[in-house]
Structure 1
Amino acid sequence: MAAGIPRGRAVPDAAVSARALARALRARGLERVYGVADPRVSVVSTPQATVWCRGGTLSWRDVWGRRVHILASEVDAAVSLLLDQAEHAVVPAD
């Protein structure tokens, strides 16, 4: 089981996936994690990415604009990628 989502054939609802992702990101120290949870489509927003949770997948764009898709049951892998993206984010100059 990854971050509170059971493995199996059933597609986890988007709200469950979003809550698990947000909880895991906060547990790993990421701040300013926000979201909206609905069983069909949910969103988790961080300063570096907006993650859409729907249809059993988590998806966002990386720092190069490429789409990233992860199974919703693989929250731990998504967290690792998002934290890596946050670590390498470019901070705009004042």
Structure 2
Amino acid sequence: MPHRFAMLFCLALAACAEMPDLALPAAPASGAAPRILPLDDLVAQARLDPPGTAVAAPAPLMGRAAALRARAAAMRGPVNDPATRARLAAAIDARG
């Protein structure tokens, strides 16, 4: 019974809301319509141009990628120095 009352209340509340404006957006005034290609042509083109071979990356992007790789390599090492790791291990052993 309480579920029916809650559903009836929600329906009554929704009936009080204003209807949204569902107007269609205006079509672009200029420009040609896009060309629709057969799927077979698109698949064949994708096989001819594997990813990464079509366009060479610009130099600033390559430099940034190298810097990010160097930063990632620097983060691969241990987080704590040996003295801190030894102190933490001793504290864990003392509790357990």
When the two structures are superposed, what TM-score results if normalisation uses the length of structure 2? 0.23
Q: Which has the higher strand share?
A: 1
Q: Highest Rg: 1 or 2?
A: 2
So what's the TM-score if we normalise by structure 1? 0.24
Structure of greater relative contact order (alpha carbons < 8 Å, 6+ residues apart):
1
